């Protein structure tokens, strides 16, 4: 058994079983239609439904609330395998697990858990996490969406941008400003159901990557939200969002790791089959050097991702390790997929060989859950505090 700073690298039988189940699902259910979904920006509705049936949408939630009762490392292993094949399905899974279910489980009331967490964790419905706005992306303090206190309910007005599961979700966790004079301490997080009057789903974004992911803007016009749908005490919204995003970074790091690992596996297979100058290109030193460096970077990223998951499971402060994992894994994903296209040559530039899609998908991992610059700020703050 090999450990460094308390991190056990030996996977248990349960971990291996989760990884294998996710791999089988990815290869048998996600792979056949992944190119067509990318081309036509088609949300993998049936595949996500099966993902819920397999227990992948509430992995870290106790079974009493509809979840699978697994640890963060199990979640990371499953995310990696699914994102090796389809990062669009992976991000829907990530948001539901890391942001929505985690937030409700950690900070929701018993009533909120019974009403919302159970169907979310069991995969009956999907959730969305609504923080970003036209002028409030990385600067989450600048919320323009308002939640006016009307006594026994809030009146919500505003717009949210770049919302994953925007169309397909049934429940949204919405950050809104109730007391502007208190700045970030005046923000609340509200559970808003899609069926509520005044809730409108905007256009679907035509994206470069993760094209099958359901990304929309959401508009709220005089939406009445009962007080019992507020998560935490008055003004807790910003703290809720920041705490939840810390865990979300682990999910995105696992997504980036999966994209990189998937592109690497395809590159190894192609290098063994493709011949140039009378022999497989895998026998050319130039290709061997690329593969060696790809593998090394992926393993380094995997260590950081696994360590952040282990930190979270051990109850340790994982803010720094999650930010480092997200920062490095996303950079590795972008670099590895670019090299994968290069190894494939002209074939890497066409859809049927998958790596061009992976290169497009990799880019977003450097942007959402905070850009690379934001991760560096988080890491530096942890170092210096």
Residues annotated as catalytic (active site), given as ranges: 369
How far apart, in Å, do the first and last CA atoms of the chain sit? 33
Residue 374, H or E segment: helix 372-384
Give the H or E element holding residue 75.
helix 72-83
Tokens standing for 38? Answer: 């990318």
State how far the Cα of 247 lies from the Cα of 100, in Å rounded to an integer. Answer: 11
H or E element, residue 1: none
Q: 10 Å Cβ neighbour count for 224?
A: 14
Integer Cα distance of 175 and 236 in angstroms? 10
Query: What single-letter DSSP state applies at residue 207?
Result: -
**SS3 for 268?**
helix
Task: At 193, list the tokens.
Answer: 């159901």
Helix/strand/coil (H/E/C) assignment for every residue in 208-228:
CCCCCCCEEEEEEEEEEEEHH
What are the DSSP E strand ranges found in 178-253?
Answer: 187-193, 199-204, 215-226, 230-231
CA distance 30 to 369: 24
- CA 143 – CA 90 distance, rounded (Å): 28
- In sequence order, the 6+-apart residues with CB closer than 8 A to the CB of 159 are 133, 134, 144, 145, 202, 217, 218, 219, 220
Question: In the numeric block, which tokens belong to residue 252?
Answer: 């995105």
The dihedral through the CA atoms of 7, 9, 15, 20 has a sign that is: positive
Measured between alpha carbons, how far is residue 292 from residues 219, 268, 286, 296 in Å?
A: 48, 10, 10, 6
**The dihedral sign for the CA sequence 157, 206, 139, 101:** positive
């Amino acid at each position: 058994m090999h450990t460094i700073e308390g991190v056990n690298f030996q996977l248990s039988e349960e971990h291996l079983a989760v990884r294998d189940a996710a791999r089988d699902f990815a290869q048998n259910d996600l792979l056949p239609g992944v190119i067509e979904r990318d081309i036509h920006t088609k949300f993998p509705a049936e595949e996500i439904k099966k993902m819920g049936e397999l227990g992948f949408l509430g992995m870290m939630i106790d079974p009493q609330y509809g979840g699978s009762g697994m640890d963060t490392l199990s979640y990371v292993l499953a995310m990696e395998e699914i994102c090796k094949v389809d990062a669009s399905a992976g991000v829907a899974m990530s948001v539901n697990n890391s942001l929505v279910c985690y937030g409700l489980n950690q900070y929701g009331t018993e009533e909120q858990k019974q009403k919302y967490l159970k169907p979310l964790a069991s995969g009956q419905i999907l959730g969305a996490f609504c923080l970003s706005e036209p002028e409030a992306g990385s600067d989450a303090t600048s919320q323009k969406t308002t939640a006016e206190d009307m006594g026994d309910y809030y009146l919500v007005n505003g717009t949210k941008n770049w919302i994953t599961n925007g169309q397909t979700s049934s429940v949204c966790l919405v950050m809104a400003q109730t007391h502007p004079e208190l700045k970030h301490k005046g923000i609340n997080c509200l559970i808003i159901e899609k069926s509520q009057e005044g809730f409108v789903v905007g256009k679907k974004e035509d994206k470069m990557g993760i094209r099958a992911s359901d990304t929309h803007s959401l508009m709220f016009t005089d939406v009445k939200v009962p007080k019992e749908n507020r998560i935490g005490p008055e003004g807790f919204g910003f703290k809720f969002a920041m705490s939840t995003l810390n865990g979300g970074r682990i999910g995105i790091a696992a997504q980036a790791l999966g994209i990189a690992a998937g592109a690497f596996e395809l590159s190894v297979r192609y290098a063994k089959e493709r011949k140039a100058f009378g022999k497989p290109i895998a026998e050319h030193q130039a290709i061997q050097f690329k593969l060696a460096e790809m593998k090394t970077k992926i393993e380094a990223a995997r260590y950081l991702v696994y360590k952040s998951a282990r930190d979270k499971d051990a109850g340790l402060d994982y803010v720094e390790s999650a930010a480092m994992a997200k920062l490095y894994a996303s950079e590795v994903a972008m670099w590895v997929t670019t090299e994968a296209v290069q190894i494939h040559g002209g074939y890497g530039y066409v859809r049927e060989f998958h790596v061009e899609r992976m290169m497009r998908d990799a880019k977003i991992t450097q942007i959402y859950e905070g850009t690379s610059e934001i991760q560096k700020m988080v890491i530096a703050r942890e170092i210096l505090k």
